Amino acid sequence: MGSREVLGQAARLASSGLLLQVLFRLITFVLNAFILRFLSKEIVGVVNVRLTLLYSTTIFLAREAFRRACLSRGTQQDWSQTLNLLWLTIPLGVFWSLFLGWIWLHLLEVPDPNVVPHYGTGVVLFGLSAVVELLGEPFWVLAQAHMFIKLKVIAESLSVILRSILTALLVIWLPHWGLHIFSVAQIFYTTVLVLCYVIYFTKLLSSPESSKQQTLPVSRITDLLPNITRSRAFVNWQEAKLTWSFFKQSFLKQILTEGERYVMTFLNVLNFGDQGVYDIVNNLGSLVARLIFQPIEESFYIFFAKVVEREKDAILQKQEDVAVAATVLEFLLKLALLTGLTITVFGFAYSQLALDIYGGAMLSSGTGPILLRCYCVYVLLLAINGVTECFTFAAMSKEEVDRYNFTMLALSSSFLVLSYLLTHWCGSVGFILANCFNMGIRITQSLRFIHRYYQKSPHRPLAGLRVSPALLGVFSLSAVITSISEVFLCCEQGWPARLTHIVVGAFCLGVTLGTAFLTETKLIHFLRTQLGVSRVTDKMT
């Protein structure tokens, strides 16, 4: 397979993965809105934080290092030894499942059985579901190495959708089951996922006419099973050592990735109800951030990487390229800032109404509105950080990237400590405040780099973070009007008053967008001609 074909298939796989992530989040969004009408927030908290953390930790520790090691050598490898190594994920998964399950049952706080019934069964079945999923690991790695894109998309989409349907049906028919509902659905999900891969390869390898069969390193389905021979070692020891190296990195990555859930689970800083509300608000806020900002960040990182040369100062590069990069960065910063300000200003006054529509009084009457308002501020920081880091990572030298990674590690570690301290001070809001602090430091690091990068050139892309006084005044006025409207019209006044509140917000939003259209003419022109800029850039590269 030529390099261009590999690149094309990798691009399709990445785009399919992005669509899949959006699909998962939308399904989870709708499912949570539905089940919140039938179940308590304590059950949601135990499932979405405690049990999901058990499952994800078991899966991650058992397979992540194996995946990275076994896929790092491509298809030109002894697949018999590679498959043998992959089957070792199952006993490792059993070990982690039993060890972590014992911790979850005996060392962590056990929920009140009257509020959250069948907790012990939930721990056992979520741990078992992780082991079931590991049964498909050899099939998954083989499919991934040969870039079977449709198989991955169909298998994961089908299993998620069927799990969602089963969960909804059980919630309606058997709400008294408690955690049994989610435990059965989780086992069903992993079983369907593994069966999709097994059935696909069984049909593929049993069909002699299949053209793909000729490219596979196996000819029968039994070749995917462990194979012990005396002529050679059971596994490739170089791959095994590489797996151990990746495991040490993966363990730290898992701690930092799931830091909030580990703090909540092991340090008991929040009760199960607050954990459930926080998780729902976090998913709701991150859905908006992912759908709006992630495509911009990913697309323009590629743009900057093509236009800007690493290891060179701005004045030593082709000035036309430097000017284009500065212009695009300036307008992206302006776009991120205005979008984030819009979400912050209007999200502040409409958080309670949004949560009431989404989850009812359970979300809108407690700490939910405060959490979502704080998250709206965090979204503003996420927007700015996404743009600044996509340029920074594209322009940094290797040495600068290494230093930045060390800084990021220190920031991630401090986040865990700060989260613990702030949650003791102000509850679940502390997690969002810790995230805001962490994001603010990252933005500061990126802004310093951008300032130094363009210091000796005539370009000042950081001017994109300035807002015209007229537009800033309209944002401030809209914040005041919508806040007053919320006090008098939302959310205990009934739907006529709520609709009036929505109309007030729509009017203020229209005035804000109209003012932005009149005052930010250069940004509007950039948005209109962005496709033309992309074509010019493609010709330049």
The two tokens of residue 450 are: 């951008």
Residue 139 near residue 196, CB atoms below 8 Å: no
Q: How many Å apart are CA 47 and CA 54, to the nearest integer? A: 10
- Provide CB contacts within 8 A for 335, sequence distance 6+: 296, 523, 527
* 246 in any annotated domain: yes
Instruction: Give the per-residue pLDDT at 302.
Output: 66
* 478 in any annotated domain: no
Buried b (16+ CB within 10 A) or exposed e, 378-388: bbbbbbbbbbb
Instruction: Give the per-residue pLDDT at 249.
Output: 55
User: In this structure, are 463 and 527 located in the same domain?
Assistant: yes
Decide: residue 413, CB within 10 A, 0-12 exposed, 13-18 middle, 19+ buried. Answer: middle
pLDDT digits over 195-204, tens only? Answer: 999 999 988 8
* 60 in any annotated domain: yes
User: In this structure, are 174 and 274 located in the same domain?
Assistant: no
User: In this structure, are 164 and 312 located in the same domain?
Assistant: no
How many degrees, rounded to 5, is the angle at CA 32 between CA 27 and CA 38? 135
* 512 in any annotated domain: no
User: In this structure, are 273 and 245 located in the same domain?
Assistant: no
The two tokens of residue 500 are: 């009036």
Buried b (16+ CB within 10 A) or exposed e, 299-323: ebbebbbebbbeeeebeebeeebbe
Q: How many Å apart are CA 79 and CA 75, to the nearest integer? A: 8
* 506 in any annotated domain: no
Question: Of 50, 138, 62, 67, which is closest to residue 94 (Cα–Cα)?
Answer: 62
H or E element: which one contains 49?
Answer: none
Q: How many Å apart are CA 409 and CA 403, to the nearest integer? A: 10
The two tokens of residue 532 are: 């033309």
Instruction: Give the per-residue pLDDT at 32.
Output: 65
* 100 in any annotated domain: yes
Residue that is last in its domain, among 257, 278, 300: 257
User: In this structure, are 278 and 201 located in the same domain?
Assistant: no
Residue that is last in its domain, among 209, 225, 257: 257
The two tokens of residue 476 are: 């401030």
Residue that is last in its domain, among 239, 257, 275: 257
How many degrees, rounded to 5, is the angle at CA 534 between CA 533 and CA 535? 90
Question: Of 367, 155, 354, which is closest to residue 277 (Cα–Cα)?
Answer: 367
User: In this structure, are 71 and 30 located in the same domain?
Assistant: yes
Cα torsion 331, 334, 338, 340 to 10°: value is 100
Backbone angles phi, psi at 425, to 5 degrees: -85, -45
* 424 in any annotated domain: yes
- Provide CB contacts within 8 A for 160, sequence distance 6+: 23, 24, 27, 189
Residue 419 near residue 429, CB atoms below 8 Å: no
Q: How many Å apart are CA 502 and CA 350, to the nearest integer? A: 8
User: In this structure, are 234 and 349 located in the same domain?
Assistant: no
Q: Which residue range forms the structural domain that includes residue 144?
A: 3-257
Instruction: Give the per-residue pLDDT at 470.
Output: 94
State CA 141 to chain mean position distance.
22
User: In this structure, are 270 and 243 located in the same domain?
Assistant: no
User: In this structure, are 464 and 526 located in the same domain?
Assistant: yes
The two tokens of residue 502 are: 């929505």
Q: How many Å apart are CA 442 and CA 304, to the nearest integer? A: 19
Looking at this protein, which amino acid is placed at residue 57?
T
* 530 in any annotated domain: yes
Other residues' Cβ atoms within 10 Å of the Cβ of residue 212: 11
CA atoms within 13 A on the CB side of 99: 11
Count of domains for the chain: 2
Q: What parts of the chain have a pLDDT lower than 70? A: 1-25, 28-29, 32, 72-77, 147, 149, 208-215, 229-234, 246, 248-253, 256-257, 288-292, 294-295, 298-299, 302, 310-311, 314-317, 398, 402, 405, 530-541
Instruction: Give the per-residue pLDDT at 531.
Output: 43
pLDDT digits over 203-253, tens only? Answer: 888 876 555 455 677 778 888 888 776 666 667 777 777 777 767 656 666
User: Cα Rg for the chain, rounded, in angstroms?
Assistant: 26
User: In this structure, are 138 and 217 located in the same domain?
Assistant: yes
Question: Of 130, 120, 129, which is closest to residue 180 (Cα–Cα)?
Answer: 120
User: In this structure, are 253 and 271 located in the same domain?
Assistant: no
Instruction: Give the per-residue pLDDT at 424.
Output: 86
User: In this structure, are 90 and 194 located in the same domain?
Assistant: yes
Q: How many Å apart are CA 392 and CA 301, to the nearest integer? A: 9
pLDDT digits over 305-333, tens only? Answer: 777 776 677 666 677 777 888 888 898 89
Residue 489 near residue 353, CB atoms below 8 Å: no
